[in-house]
Chain A
Amino acid sequence: MTAITGSFSSAPVLPKWIVPFLLLAFAYGVVPLIGSSYLFEAILLPFLALSLAGVGLNILTGYAGQVSLGSAAFMAAGAFAAYNFNLRVEGLPLIGSIFLAGIVAAAIGIVFGLPSLRLKGFYLAVSTLAAQFFVQWALTKFSWFSNDSASGVIDAPKLSIAGFAFDGAVGRYLFALTIVTALTFLAYRLVSSQTGRNFIAIRDNETAARIIGIPVLKTKLLAFAISSFIIGVAGVIWAFAYLRTVEPDGFDLDRSFQILFIIIIGGLASIRGAFFGAALIVVFPLALSRLGGFLLGDVFDSGVLDMSQRIVLGALIILFLILEPDGLVALWDRVRRRLLFAWQST
C-alpha cells in the first residue's frame, strides 16, 4: 500500500494518453452498439460538431487571446464551401471537399482577422461581428452558394470516405467522431508546440512577445486561420452529419455566442474544455425540458422551455465567470484531485 501511494504522490497516476484512449475506445467500440438513434441524432452529433467548433474558437480566443464573435460565420463558410466543392468539382472525394472548405474558412478568417493587428479585446470582438453579418448576408444574397435553391437550403451529400459509406445515424456519428478526433489531436499537438506557446505569449503580454522576437502579426493571423479552419470543418459536420439540411439562418449570431459560451463554461485555453462546455450546452436544454415536463407537466411548453433555458444559461455563465473563471475543466480537476486524495488517505 505504501508503495502505491508513494508512486501516486511522485508521478502522475497514468500516462496522459490513457484517458483519451479509453474514451475513444468506448466511443468507437461501445457507443455504436448500445446507442439509440435519439442519442446520436439529438445529442452526440450536435455535441461533436459544437465541440470541434469550441476547439477551434479556443485556439483563437483561449490560447491566442483574440476574442471573436464570428464563429457561426466560419461554420457557415465551411458548410457552404464543402457543399459547393462537392457539387461543382467532379471526382473530388468528400474528404477533399471538407479540407478545401476548411481552407476557404481559414482564408475568410484571415481577412476578418486583419483588424486584430490594430484592435484588441472588446473592439476586436465587435469587428468580428462584421464576419458574422457579411457571410450570412452573402450566402442569402447570392443564390449561387446554395445552387439556386429557392429557400437557400442546402442538402448534404452522401457521406463516404475512401469508398466506405457512412449511412444512418450511427454511420454519421462515426464519420463525425473520426474527423473530430483527428482534428482535436492535431489541435492538441499545435497548442503544445512552439506556435501554441507563441499564441499564449501574445495573449499574456503582446509587447513582451514582440520584444523577444515572436512575429506577432503573423502569429495572430495564423491563429485566425487555424481557428477558422477547424470551425469551418465543424460547420461541415454540423451541416452534413448532424442536420443534413441547413440554411444560412442556422448560422446566426446566436450560434456564435453559443460557441463562445461553450469555451467560457468549459474552460478557456483548454482543449478538453471545449468538450465539457459542448456537453453542457447540448445536454442542458434536453435535461431542462425533461425536468420541466416532469415537474410542471403541460405548463412547460416549448415557449417556456426556450425562455427558461436562456435564463438558466445566462445565470450559469454569470456564476461561472464569478466562481470558476477557468471553467468546468478546473472544476473537474479539483473534484478529481479531492477524490484521489480521499482515496489515497483511506
Chain B
Amino acid sequence: MPLASYALGMMEAAVYAPEVFARGLPSALRREQQSEGSTEPTGAATAAATPLLSLHGIGLSFGGVVALADIDLSVYPGEIRAIIGPNGAGKSSLINVISGVYRSDRGHVQLDGVSYAQVPTQRLAHLGVARTFQNLALFKGLSVLDNVASGLAYKVRSNFAGQVLGIGRSRGEQRDSQSRADQILEFLDLTAVRDRLAGTLPYGLQKRVELARALVAEPRLLLLDEPMAGMTAGEKSEMADFVRAARDRFATTVVLIEHDVGVVMGLSDRIAVLDYGRKIADATPDEVRNDQRVIDAYLGVASDNEDGAGI
C-alpha cells in the first residue's frame, strides 16, 4: 500500500521523466536536422516566416470571469504548437475562439493573413482548419468509415436528389470520399474497426477516429483539444506518434492542448503556457522547462529533482 501511494505521488516527478528522455531526445534531434536548410521556424528564424495562425489581443470573459486576457499567439506553418496550463487556464476557450465556437470580446484571429472578429465556424473546413474536441464528439450512430468520410462533407456538391437516384457527381464523390477515408483509416491503423459503429468503440479508439475525421480533409491547421485525455501511457505515446506522423505526412500545422507535460515536451516544437487566461510563456520545450514562472504556475518544483532531469 505505501508503495502504491508513493508511486502515485511521484507520478509527475518520476514517471514522466524517462518518457521525456525517451521521446524528447529523438524529436530534438529531428528538429535540428530539419532546421538545417529548411524553414523550420525555431528561435530567431520565426520572425521571418509568416504565421499561418495568429491571435492578436484576444480577450474573452464569461460574466465576470475572465477566461482569456490579451492573448497573442503566432503559429507558423509546419510546427506542432502545444498550449498547456492548469485546469481553467483558458486552453479550451482559446481553441474555441480559434475555431469560431466562441466569439472573443476583444482582439481578432488571423488565419492565413485574413483577420476575423469571429472565425466563421461554418466555413472552417473550407479554410483548411479541422479540430477535435475535448469530450468525444463523434457521430455515434455512424460507422467508423462514415464518421471519417463525413470529414469530407464540406466538399460535397451533389444534392440529395442526385444522391438518392445515384446520378450526376454523387457517385464519384461517394467513391472518392470512401477511398480517402479508407486511406486515413489505414494510416491511423483503424482499418480493423472500419465498419463498427463509432459509439461502440473503446474510448482510446474513439479519440483516434476523431483524429482521423479531422485529418481526412488534410487540413492545413489541425486543432487538437486534449487528444490524449484519459488515455493510458501506452495509448498516449501511440497518439503522439500519430500526431507527429500526421504533421510529417500532410504538412499540417498542429495546435494541441494537453495536460500531460511529458508527452507535450517530446512532441511539440514550441509551447505556450497559459495561466488564469494569460500567456505566461511561449518558447521551446527546453526554455519552458526552465522558465521560473511556468514552474511556479504549472510544473511545480520537485525538490528531489533540482538538476531538472526530466521536467
Contacts and interface: CB of A to CB of B under 8 A. Distances in A.
Interface of A: 186, 189-190, 193-195, 197-198, 200-201, 203-205, 207-216, 222, 226, 269
Contacts of B126: 213
Contacts of A210: 121-122
A212 B121 contact: no
B311 interface: no
A212 B163 contact: no
Contacts, number: 94
Interface stretch (B79-87, B147-155, B185-193, B245-253): B147-155
Nearest to B155: A213
Nearest to A185: B164
A195 B138 contact: no
B166 to A, nearest CB: 7
B133 to A, nearest CB: 7
Going nearest first, the 8 A-B pairs with the smallest beta carbon separation are A213-B154, A213-B125, A193-B163, A208-B137, A204-B139, A195-B160, A189-B164, A201-B139
Given A186-B164, A201-B139, A211-B99, A194 B125 contact: no
Interface string B146-186: 10011101111010100111100010011001000000000
A226 B99 CA distance: 31
Given A190-B160, A205-B139, A212-B151, 8 more contacts: A193-B163, A194-B174, A197-B146, A198-B153, A204-B141, A211-B125, A211-B131, A213-B154
Contacts of A189: 163-166
A204 B138 contact: yes
A226 to B, nearest CB: 7
Given A197-B142, A201-B153, A213 B122 contact: yes
A277 B76 CA distance: 56
Q: Is the interface of A mostly helix, strand, loop or mixed?
A: helix
B133 A208 contact: yes
Contacts of B151: 212
Given A210-B122, A212-B213, A214-B150, A195 B137 contact: no
B150 to A, nearest CB: 5
From A207, A208, A214, A226, residue with most partner B Cβ within 10 Å: A208
A194 B158 contact: yes
A150 B158 CA distance: 48
A207 B101 contact: yes
B115 to A, nearest CB: 20
B228 to A, nearest CB: 19
Interface string B69-103: 00000000000000000000000000000010100
Contact of B163 (A190, A200, A269): A190
Contacts of B164: 186, 189-190, 193, 195
20 contacts: A189-B166, A194-B170, A194-B173, A194-B177, A195-B164, A197-B139, A200-B139, A200-B142, A208-B133, A208-B139, A209-B139, A211-B101, A211-B121, A211-B131, A212-B214, A213-B124, A213-B126, A213-B217, A214-B153, A216-B122
Contacts of B158: 194
B133 A195 contact: no
A273 B141 CA distance: 16
From A193, A198, A210, A226, residue with most partner B Cβ within 10 Å: A193
B19 to A, nearest CB: 31
Contacts of A222: 160
A193 B142 contact: no
Nearest to B149: A197
B196 interface: no
A190 B166 CA distance: 10
Contacts of B294: none
Contacts of A214: 150, 153-154
A210 B151 CA distance: 11
Contacts of A190: 160, 163-164
Contact of A197 (B150, B166, B173): B150
A194 B142 CA distance: 11
Nearest to B198: A204
Contacts of A195: 160, 163-164
From A190, A201, A216, A269, residue with most partner B Cβ within 10 Å: A201
A269 B122 contact: no
Nearest to A208: B137
A208 B155 CA distance: 16
B130 interface: yes
Nearest to A186: B164
Interface in B37-67: none
A209 B217 CA distance: 14
B142 A198 contact: no
B163 A194 contact: yes
From A195, A198, A205, A226, residue with most partner B Cβ within 10 Å: A195
B175 to A, nearest CB: 12
A141 to B, nearest CB: 35
A197 to B, nearest CB: 5
A213 B133 CA distance: 15
A203 B170 contact: no
A205 B139 CA distance: 6
Contacts of A205: 137-139
Contacts of A193: 160, 163-164, 170, 174
B32 to A, nearest CB: 36
